[in-house]
């Protein structure tokens, strides 16, 4: 007898017969969608032994002390609620016995649905031990990677190129950018609801190799890609461009510039260095056409023409800002441009610092800017309170016929809409949150949109860094987790009740 369970669009098949020597396992599924839920904790009490579900929602309960016994488990997951009560918490008593398993349901509170972990080791370890067939080709270890920070991705030459920042292995590390490719859905790639089959660029050890090595004098520094975009060169050939920084940790960059992907050498090469302007910001470029001219917006307040020569020319970059042309943002005395009437003069200006959401908050707090003059208000559409969120990723959405933004604040992600890519972005709706964990550098993947943009996909870095987490989540910490969001969810209509 074979037991079949569904995960997204793929089937997971129990290869061991029911009642065999397979360790006891439990699978927890989303009560609404029926698919397995990753990152659910089964915690014993009072000795606090924890088991975590893998990307199929499966957790192996393999402790010999539990064999043949009833065991009480507290069942918890950020953004989800198990609805059975155990003591004063939520949980269930399970009878642990080799060769058996259980399936439980959990209610999703988040609007966004957690799908799977993309990077790191043992993504489907528990499913493999349980005798289930995972949907991805490398379910245990891929490219030697156990942890990766901050994803940047772009379609290129018929595939999707994925890049990350700091990358760790079992006894290796890469602080000079790592990359992988995957086939696009419909062209050999998996449906994004199921997973992503990554093929890493690796070194002679089989570990994710340095994709932008910079030989510079002095102590080694971190190299981070900020954004990816494609531009046709002088011969009309599509080239993959990366904006990058080199920096000593979280301190301001010591170098920033433009790199181009060497298709033959399978690495990025520096094309040009640019003047240092401010701190590092993860950038998720998107295209906008205005008055017949096409631009790459590296972020909503920074753009460059979609032209080969412009990419390497610092004077071709323009900031949407209310600073005087040529000014830098000086915190002590910002040089805001105003008309004699007192109205701010905002517009696209070359060689000028842009003003982000954090700077807007500073200016408002000091009385130098009115709240109604801000582009990134991001007020909670339910409570009317300030979210304090910062923009992370913007894309045009044909289903909503709006520009949509994902914004973040320490483990919480908000959804917002605007008629223009620059904004304003007055209202926001919380779509996922964590109690004491971070989820940052959130990135939407428009190349994964389904049903005309009704369903979107996004990911972020799940990490204890910069959070109140008391301990790291095994295997998940410092890795990328994929979510999907249905834009016809009635809870998003709260954005439409405001003028």
What are the extents of the domains in the chain? 4-110, 142-283
Residue that the structure tokens 């096409």 belong to: 294
Give the 3-state secondary structure of residue 337: coil
CATH number of 4-110: 2.60.40.1120
Nearest to 424, CA basis, from 391, 467, 388, 377: 377
199 φψ region: left (φ > 0), alpha (ψ -120 to 50), beta (else): beta
Q: How much is the pTM?
A: 0.94
C-alpha torsion sign, points 166, 172, 176, 178: negative
Nearest to 145, CA basis, from 180, 118, 169: 169
Report the alpha-carbon distance of residue 93 to residue 71 in Å, rounded: 5
Give the 3-state secondary structure of residue 375: coil
DSSP designation for 119: S
The DSSP element (H or E) to which 359 belongs, if any, is helix 357-365
Per-residue pLDDT at 16: 35
The DSSP element (H or E) to which 365 belongs, if any, is helix 357-365
Per-residue pLDDT at 451: 98
Q: How far is CA 89 from CA 6, 73, 86, 109, 305, in A?
A: 29, 10, 5, 17, 56
Per-residue pLDDT at 279: 80
- The 10 Å CB-count burial string (b at 16+, else e) for 337-350 is beeeeeebebebbe
Could you state, in chain order, the average pLDDT of each consecutive group of 10 residues for the chain (499 residues)?
A: 36 40 96 97 93 98 95 98 94 97 98 98 98 97 98 96 98 97 97 98 97 94 96 96 94 94 97 86 93 95 97 95 94 92 94 92 93 95 95 97 97 97 96 97 98 98 94 97 98 80
Give the 3-state secondary structure of residue 386: strand
| HSE (side-chain half, CA atoms, 13 Å) at 259 | 27
């Amino acid at each position: 007898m074979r037991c079949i369970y569904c995960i997204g669009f793929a089937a997971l098949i129990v290869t061991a017969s029911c009642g065999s020597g397979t360790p006891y396992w439990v699978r927890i599924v989303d009560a609404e969608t029926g698919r397995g839920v990753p990152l659910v904790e089964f915690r014993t009490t009072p000795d606090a032994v924890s088991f975590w579900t893998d990307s199929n929602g499966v957790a192996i309960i393999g402790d010999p002390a539990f064999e043949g016994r009833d065991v009480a488990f507290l069942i918890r997951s950020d953004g989800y609620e198990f609805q059975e009560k155990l003591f004063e918490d939520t949980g269930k008593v399970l009878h642990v016995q080799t060769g058996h398993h259980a399936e439980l349901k959990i209610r999703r509170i988040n609007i966004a649905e957690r799908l799977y972990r993309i990077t790191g080791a043992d993504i489907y370890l528990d499913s493999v031990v349980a005798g289930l067939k995972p949907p991805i080709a490398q379910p245990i270890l891929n490219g030697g990677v156990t942890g990766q920070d901050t994803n940047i991705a772009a379609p290129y030459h018929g595939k999707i190129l994925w890049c990350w920042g700091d990358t760790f292995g079992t006894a290796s590390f890469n602080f000079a950018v790592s990359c992988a490719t995957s086939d696009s859905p419909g062209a050999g790639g998996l449906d994004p609801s199921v997973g992503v089959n990554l093929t890493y660029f690796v070194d002679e050890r089989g570990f994710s190799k340095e994709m932008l090595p910079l030989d510079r004098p002095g102590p080694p520094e971190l190299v981070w890609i900020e954004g990816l975009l494609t531009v046709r060169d002088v011969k009309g050939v599509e080239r993959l461009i990366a904006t990058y920084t080199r920096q000593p940790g979280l301190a301001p960059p010591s170098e920033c510039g433009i790199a181009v992907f060497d298709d033959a050498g399978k690495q990025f090469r520096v094309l040009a260095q640019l003047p240092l302007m401010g701190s590092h910001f993860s950038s998720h470029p998107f295209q906008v056409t205005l008055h017949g001219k096409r631009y790459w917006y590296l972020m909503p307040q920074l753009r460059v023409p979609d032209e080969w020569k412009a990419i390497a020319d610092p004077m071709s970059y323009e900031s949407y800002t209310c600073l005087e042309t040529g000014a830098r943002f000086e915190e002590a005395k910002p040089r805001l441009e105003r008309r004699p009437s007192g109205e701010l003069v905002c517009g696209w200006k070359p060689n000028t610092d842009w003003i982000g959401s954090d700077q807007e908050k500073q200016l408002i707090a000091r009385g130098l800017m009115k709240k109604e003059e801000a582009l990134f208000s991001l007020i909670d559409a339910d409570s009317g309170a300030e979210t304090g969120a910062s923009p992370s990723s913007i894309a045009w959405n044909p289903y909503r016929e709006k520009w949509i933004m994902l914004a973040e604040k320490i483990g919480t992600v908000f959804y917002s809409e605007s008629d223009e890519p620059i904004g304003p972005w007055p209202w926001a709706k919380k779509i996922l949150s964590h109690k004491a964990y971070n989820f940052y550098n959130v990135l939407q993947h428009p190349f994964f949109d389904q049903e005309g943009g009704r369903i979107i996909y996004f990911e972020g870095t799940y990490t204890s860094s910069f959070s109140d987490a008391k301990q790291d989540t095994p295997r998940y910490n410092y890795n990328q987790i994929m979510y999907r969001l249905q834009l016809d969810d009635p809870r998003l209509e709260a954005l439409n009740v405001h003028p």
